[in-house]
Amino acid sequence: MPLEAPLAPVAERVAHLNARYRHHAARAVLERALRDPAVGRIALVSSFGAESVVLLHLVSVIDRSTPVLFVDTQLLFPETLAYQAEVAARLGLSDVRTIRARPEAVAAHDPDGLLHRSDTDACCDLRKVVPLERALSGFDAWITGRKRFQGGQRAALDFFEAEGDRRIKVNPLAHWAPDDVQDYMVNNRLPRHPLVSRGYPSIGCAPCTTRVAPGEDPRAGRWRDRNKDECGIHFINGRVVRGPAAQGDAT
């Protein structure tokens, strides 16, 4: 069999893909991302959180065998674990991969499971960033659910962006509004995460997620009263985000 031609540099491919698909709709962008050789080997990374089912459903309609990477920090709400199993089965996703920190790493750095109390960044790095980076090492691109309406740097989010010189990040829902997300869930009769109706519009690990009061920002319950608003799995110019990003750098 002939050897596959090496992929062009990430920045070059991102510029080409954005120019080619700039005016496409979310589903079309996702279809192209899953099939365009310029994207390469691709996986969907999903938290199975409040809005995750939209992108999971879109992927299931196009190709149910797409690898789905689910990071189980082992500090998640039981409801999230149950929801993950329910959604994967209902959508017929055939390649869901549960990613966890290596036991020896947890034993060495967080043996009592309380690292989140003293150093949330270190906890996220141990339980989420490092395991996901290891899982993504075999892929050229990954799909995210980020959207422009979430603000900060996302306000100018493109469908395709460079994660340094390592991988492409694909954001099919970049141009969606909040109503688009809710309408899609209603129109396709998709199951809701059980915690949403209990005041959790954004759901992370149980120790670091609280209910959100009416009128608060949906992410106000994430790391409440901590100098932090990102777990670190998203990168800016090849570096991990640590805590609240500088103006214009929020992910």
* pLDDT of amino acid 249: 28
Beta strand pairing status for 141-143 and 42-45? Answer: parallel
Give mean pLDDT, residues 96-125. Answer: 94
* pLDDT of amino acid 171: 93
With CA atoms as reference, report the closest residue to 163 among 251, 49, 73: 251
Q: Domain ranges in the chain?
A: 10-240
Give the pLDDT confidence of 136-191 residue by residue, as tens digits: 999 999 999 888 766 555 666 789 999 888 899 999 998 898 899 999 999 999 99
Beta strand residue intervals within 80-154, DSSP E: 96-99, 141-143
**231 part of the active site:** yes
Give mean pLDDT, residues 182-208. Answer: 94
Cα–Cα distance, 26 to 103 (Å, whole number): 38
Q: Evaluate if residue 239 carries a pLDDT over 90.
A: no
With CA atoms as reference, report the closest residue to 129 among 120, 139, 141, 118: 120
Cα–Cα distance, 3 to 93 (Å, whole number): 30
Which one from 123, 124, 208, 231 is the annotated catalytic residue? Answer: 231
Give mean pLDDT, residues 68-74. Answer: 97
Average pLDDT score over the chain = 86
Q: Evaluate if residue 99 carries a pLDDT over 80.
A: yes
pLDDT higher for 42 or 243?
A: 42
Q: Please report the sign of the dihedral spanned by the C-alpha atoms of residue 189, residue 26, residue 133, residue 136.
A: positive
* pLDDT of amino acid 150: 65
* pLDDT of amino acid 230: 60
**Which three-class secondary structure state does DSSP give residue 163?**
strand
* pLDDT of amino acid 88: 97
Q: Evaluate if residue 219 carries a pLDDT over 70.
A: yes
With CA atoms as reference, report the closest residue to 242 among 109, 146, 120: 120
Cα–Cα distance, 68 to 91 (Å, whole number): 12
For residues 170 and 33, the answer to whether their CB atoms sit within 8 Å is: yes
* pLDDT of amino acid 38: 85
* pLDDT of amino acid 8: 86
pLDDT higher for 23 or 64?
A: 64
Sequence-distant (≥ 6) Cβ neighbours of residue 5 within 8 angstroms: none
CATH number 3.40.50.620 is the correct assignment for the domain at 10-240: yes
Give the pLDDT confidence of 4-47 residue by residue, as tens digits: 567 889 999 999 999 988 889 999 999 999 998 889 999 999 99
Count of C-beta atoms within a 10 Å radius of residue 114: 10
**Which three-class secondary structure state does DSSP give residue 207?**
helix
Percentage with pLDDT > 70 across the chain: 84
Count of C-beta atoms within a 10 Å radius of residue 57: 20
* pLDDT of amino acid 164: 84
